[in-house]
Amino acid sequence: MPSLALQKRLLTLVLFVGPTTTLLILPNFSYDPINLIKLLVLSTVGFAAIGIMLGELKNSFFRIPRFVAFALSLMALGFVVSMFMSGAPLSQQVWGSFGRNTGLIAYVSFIGVMFAASSIKSADLERKVTLSLIATNIPMSAYCLIQILNLDPVGWSAFEPFGTLGNVNFLSAFLGICSTANFLISFSNLFTKYQRAGLAFLGFFNIWIISQTNSIQGFIVLASGLGIGGFLIVRAKIKSNFPYLYWTYTLGCLLLLFLFVLSLFEKGPLSKFVYQQTLIFRFDYMKAAIEMIKERPIFGVGLDSYGDWYRAERDITSAFRTSLNRTSNTAHNVFLDVGSNSGILGLIGYSLLVIVVGYLSFRKIVSSPEVNIFRIIVFSCWIGYTVQTLASINQIGLGIWGWIFTGILLRDSQASHQSVNSKSGRSQFSRNRNAISHLELKPLSAALGFVGLVAGFSLAVPPLHADMKYQSASVRRDLSLMMDVSKMPGATAIHIGKTIEIAISNNFLFQAKEMDKLLVSRYPREIYGWQVMRTLDSPSPAEVELASSKIGSLDPNYAMCLTSDPAQTIFNRLAKLDRNQQIALTTYWPDRSALFSEPSNPFKVLTSELRARLLNFCS
Torsion of CA 247, 253, 258, 260, to 10 degrees: 170
Three-state DSSP at 456 gives: helix
296 and 78 in contact (C-beta within 8 Å)? no
Closest CA to 26 of 463, 498, 468, 494: 468
Closest CA to 109 of 43, 50, 60: 43
* 105 HSE (CA, 13 A, CB side): 32
Q: What is the pLDDT of residues 154-166, one digit of tens each?
A: 877 556 899 999 9
Find the largest Cα–Cα distance for the chain.
Answer: 93
Q: What is the pLDDT of residues 266-297, one digit of tens each?
A: 788 877 777 777 788 999 999 999 999 999 99
Mean pLDDT, rounded, for 224-229: 93
pLDDT score of 418: 43
381 and 182 in contact (C-beta within 8 Å)? no
Rounded to whole angstroms, the Cα distance separating 608 from 224 reads 50
Mean pLDDT, rounded, for 66-74: 92
* Nearest-5° Cα angle at 556, 551 to 562: 60
The lowest-confidence range among 175-179, 253-257, 338-342, 461-465 is 253-257
Q: What is the pLDDT of residues 21-46, one digit of tens each?
A: 999 999 999 999 999 999 999 999 99
The lowest-confidence range among 190-204, 241-255, 513-527, 546-560 is 241-255
pLDDT score of 62: 56
Q: How confident is the model at residue 123 (pLDDT cuts 50, 70, 90)?
A: confident
pLDDT score of 43: 98
Residue type, 609: E
Which one is predicted more confidently, 241 or 460?
Answer: 460
Q: Give the CA distances from residue 614 to residues 338, 381, 528, 567, 610, in Å, rounded to whole numbers and listed in that order.
A: 35, 46, 21, 5, 6
Q: What is the pTM of this model?
A: 0.92
pLDDT score of 305: 97
DSSP structural state of residue 267: -
Closest CA to 222 of 385, 361, 435: 385
Q: How confident is the model at residue 181 (pLDDT cuts 50, 70, 90)?
A: very high
pLDDT score of 584: 84
What proportion of the chain, given as a percentage, has pLDDT over 90?
A: 72
Rounded to whole angstroms, the Cα distance separating 221 from 383 reads 8
Rounded to whole angstroms, the Cα distance separating 72 from 114 reads 11
Rounded to whole angstroms, the Cα distance separating 307 from 326 reads 11
Q: How confident is the model at residue 427 (pLDDT cuts 50, 70, 90)?
A: very low
pLDDT score of 433: 40
Q: Alpha helix (H) ranges present in 557-607?
A: 566-575, 579-586, 592-595
pLDDT score of 65: 80
Q: How confident is the model at residue 533 (pLDDT cuts 50, 70, 90)?
A: very high
Closest CA to 408 of 3, 6, 127: 127
Residue type, 135: A
The lowest-confidence range among 119-123, 407-411, 508-512 is 119-123
pLDDT for residue 580 is more than 70: yes
Question: Does domain 477-557 bear CATH number 1.25.40?
Answer: yes
Q: How confident is the model at residue 228 (pLDDT cuts 50, 70, 90)?
A: very high
Mean pLDDT, rounded, for 453-467: 98
Which one is predicted more confidently, 83 or 247?
Answer: 83
Three-state DSSP at 557 gives: coil
pLDDT score of 422: 40
Q: How far is CA 254 from the centre of its chain?
A: 28
31 and 474 in contact (C-beta within 8 Å)? yes
Rounded to whole angstroms, the Cα distance separating 402 from 395 reads 10
Residues of the chain with CATH 1.25.40: 477-557
77 and 338 in contact (C-beta within 8 Å)? no
178 and 397 in contact (C-beta within 8 Å)? no
Q: How far is CA 324 from the centre of its chain?
A: 24
